[in-house]
């Protein structure tokens, strides 16, 4: 079984919305062969809580406006460290960069096929590492730049 056309349409719109809000490392997996509850996972991250929330809001607004899709469940708003938007066909995970590294969802789903994404979303790959290097967040000695 593979992701439905509707799921792919939702993933692409959500990925573009996340890219437009400057999300980092956007990637999508077709999880339909291993999960019966959804077809695809979209992962995106941001370096701060405010941006996590902004990305999730843009995804939600764009999917509603363009495709008439509303999430059946939204979790994680209070802390804005990991916001989950469940559209049944797809699940969007917008994570703070630290949570993204800690939970490493990519490792869990690495055996699932990656879904093609819009060019703007693909260009976000490696942005988290680039941002960390620019801000000194990846320095092991704990010193601030």
Q: What are 58-77's pLDDT values in tens digits?
A: 999 999 999 999 999 999 98
DSSP for residue 93: E
Of residues 48, 112, 53, the one with CA closest to residue 85: 53
Q: And the tokens for 39? A: 């077809």
CA dist 145 and 55 (Å) reads: 27
* Cα–Cα–Cα angle for 122, 123, 127, rounded to 5 degrees: 115
Q: What are 11-44's pLDDT values in tens digits?
A: 999 999 999 999 999 999 999 999 999 999 999 9
Q: 127 falls in which pLDDT band (50, 70, 90)?
A: confident
CA dist 21 and 9 (Å) reads: 19
């Amino acid at each position: 079984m593979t992701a439905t056309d509707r799921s792919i349409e939702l993933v692409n719109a959500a990925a573009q919305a996340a890219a437009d809000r400057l999300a980092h490392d956007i990637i999508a997996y077709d999880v339909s062969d291993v999960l019966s509850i959804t077809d695809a996972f979209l992962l995106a991250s941001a370096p701060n809580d405010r941006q996590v929330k902004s990305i999730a809001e843009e995804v939600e607004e764009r999917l509603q406006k363009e495709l008439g899709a509303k999430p059946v469940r939204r979790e994680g708003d209070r802390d804005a460290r990991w916001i989950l938007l469940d559209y049944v066909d797809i699940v969007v995970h917008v994570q703070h960069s630290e949570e993204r590294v800690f939970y490493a969802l990519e490792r869990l789903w690495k055996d699932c096929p990656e879904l093609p994404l819009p060019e703007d979303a693909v260009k976000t790959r490696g942005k988290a590492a680039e941002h960390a290097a620019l801000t000194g967040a990846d320095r092991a000695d704990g010193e601030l730049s």
